[in-house]
């Protein structure tokens, strides 16, 4: 398979070098070229035909935000990853970029105290997103095992399935999530009958600002989650960055709880407890999940079931 060709766009010579060195460390990636601003990038896209570009924000002549609409006019499907700062203004700019058509973002490492640490963080954050957007799967180090054909059981028609009782709608998103959430929540009526809880891969400041922006356009209330909040129908809560969020039943009400435990499924506390993690949604009592690949509603599985990363499950 040919390497993924990347165009690195940033006005800082140091940032361009660090990004190029980090990307060049992976044999599946090739740095096709660099550009110091959006105007030069538009020319180099035509010349180099990259598979993806990383884009800085503040640049002379044509900034990142100004460049995105121009790029989208000519290359509507070219993946764009913003390289932004982990600040409130950086979060606002990043959300603007995603709304304009950027595919994803990576925040610049700060206060690392070491160039090696900075490089390693960029590798960990940026390279997996590049491969995901370009459709490259990570190769496992384990020996290959011959595939065993499995016949998928036919699913019953939706009309013949028993209507599940739904207390909470849970949504888990990652790459492309902010735009997908905006589209989803704007389509939900204000009298939606159950509360909605959301997990989106983002740092703390970003999740708060995302909730504020989504709430301005949705008919329902959208807020960042807080411990002890009682869930009500017609409201959506986004898990704050750096926290796991759980929904716990207390008598007749359901409340949010937060923790910063390890990134694995924790024992459910009480009956019908939902646990939300960065990579998906788990539940001891999940009623089912909706598979976006076209297989429709999946009935309840064994305890500890997991929804697909970009799917929806309710419990």
* Pair (42, 93) in one structural domain: yes
Mean pLDDT of the region 205-214: 92
* Pair (86, 202) in one structural domain: no
Distance (Å, whole) CA 171 – CA 159: 24
Mean pLDDT of the region 269-280: 43
Distance (Å, whole) CA 182 – CA 240: 17
Please report the pLDDT score of residue 150 as a whole number.
60
Distance (Å, whole) CA 272 – CA 281: 13
Encode pLDDT of 39-68 as tens digits. Answer: 999 999 999 999 999 999 999 999 999 999
Q: Which of 114, 133, 152 is the last residue of a domain?
A: 133
Encode pLDDT of 163-180 as tens digits. Answer: 677 889 999 887 778 888
- 157 within domain boundaries: no
CATH no. for residue 197? 3.40.50.180
The pair of structure tokens assigned to 11 is 């006005």
DSSP line for 11-47: S-HHHHHHHHHHHHTSTTEEEEEEESSHHHHHHHHHH
The pair of structure tokens assigned to 47 is 């010349």
* Pair (203, 246) in one structural domain: yes
* Pair (123, 171) in one structural domain: no
Encode pLDDT of 15-43 as tens digits. Answer: 999 999 999 999 999 999 999 999 999 99
Higher pLDDT, 37 or 295: 37
Cβ atoms within 10 Å, residue 3: 14
**Domain residues for 42?**
4-133
Contact present, 277 and 309 (Cβ < 8 Å): no
- Minimum mean pLDDT range among 58-67, 95-104, 230-239, 294-303: 294-303
Distance (Å, whole) CA 168 – CA 246: 12
Contact present, 247 and 256 (Cβ < 8 Å): yes
CA dihedral 296, 304, 223, 200 (to 10 degrees): -70
* Pair (276, 168) in one structural domain: yes
CA angle 214, 219, 220 (to 5 degrees): 75
- 140 within domain boundaries: no
Question: pTM of the predicted model, to two decimals?
Answer: 0.72
CATH no. for residue 128? 3.40.50.2300
Mean pLDDT of the region 202-225: 92
* Pair (121, 255) in one structural domain: no
Number of structural domains in the chain:
2
* Pair (251, 289) in one structural domain: yes
Confidence of residue 278 (pLDDT cuts 50, 70, 90): very low
* Pair (184, 283) in one structural domain: yes
* Pair (174, 88) in one structural domain: no
Higher pLDDT, 156 or 80: 80
With CA atoms as reference, report the closest residue to 85 among 58, 121, 114: 58
The pair of structure tokens assigned to 49 is 């035909």
Contact present, 84 and 15 (Cβ < 8 Å): no
The number of C-alpha atoms within 13 Å of 93 and in the hemisphere containing its C-beta is: 20
How far is C-alpha 155 from the geometric centre of its chain's CA atoms? 29
Please report the pLDDT score of residue 114 as a whole number.
79
């Amino acid at each position: 398979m040919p390497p993924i060709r990347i165009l690195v766009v940033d006005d800082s010579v140091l940032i361009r070098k660090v990004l190029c060195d980090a990307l060049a460390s992976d044999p599946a990636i090739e740095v096709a070229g660099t550009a110091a601003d959006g105007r030069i990038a538009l020319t180099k896209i035509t010349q180099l035909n990259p598979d993806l570009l990383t884009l800085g924000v503040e640049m002379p002549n044509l900034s990142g935000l100004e460049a995105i609409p121009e790029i989208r006019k000519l290359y509507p499907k070219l993946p764009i990853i913003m390289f932004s700062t982990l600040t409130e203004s950086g979060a606002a700019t990043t959300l603007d970029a995603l709304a304009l058509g950027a595919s994803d973002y990576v925040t610049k490492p700060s206060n690392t105290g070491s160039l090696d640490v900075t490089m390693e963080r960029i590798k960990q954050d940026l390279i997996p997103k590049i491969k995901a957007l370009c459709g490259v799967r990570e190769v496992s180090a384990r020996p290959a095992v011959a595939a065993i054909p499995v016949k998928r059981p036919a699913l019953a028609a939706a009309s013949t399935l028993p209507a599940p009782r739904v207390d909470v709608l849970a949504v888990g998103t990652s790459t492309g999530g902010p735009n997908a959430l905006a589209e989803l929540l704007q389509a939900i009526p204000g009298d939606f009958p159950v509360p909605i809880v959301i997990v989106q891969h983002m740092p703390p400041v970003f999740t708060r600002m995302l909730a504020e922006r989504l709430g301005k356009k949705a008919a329902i209330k959208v807020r960042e989650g807080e411990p002890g909040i009682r869930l009500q129908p017609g409201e959506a809560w986004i898990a704050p960055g750096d926290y796991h969020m759980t929904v716990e039943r207390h008598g007749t009400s359901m409340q949010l709880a937060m923790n910063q435990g390890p990134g694995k499924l924790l024992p459910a506390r009480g009956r019908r407890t939902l646990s939300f993690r960065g990579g998906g949604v788990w539940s001891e009592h999940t009623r089912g999940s909706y598979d976006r690949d076209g297989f429709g509603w999946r009935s309840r599985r064994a305890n500890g079931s997991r929804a697909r990363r970009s799917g929806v499950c309710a419990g």
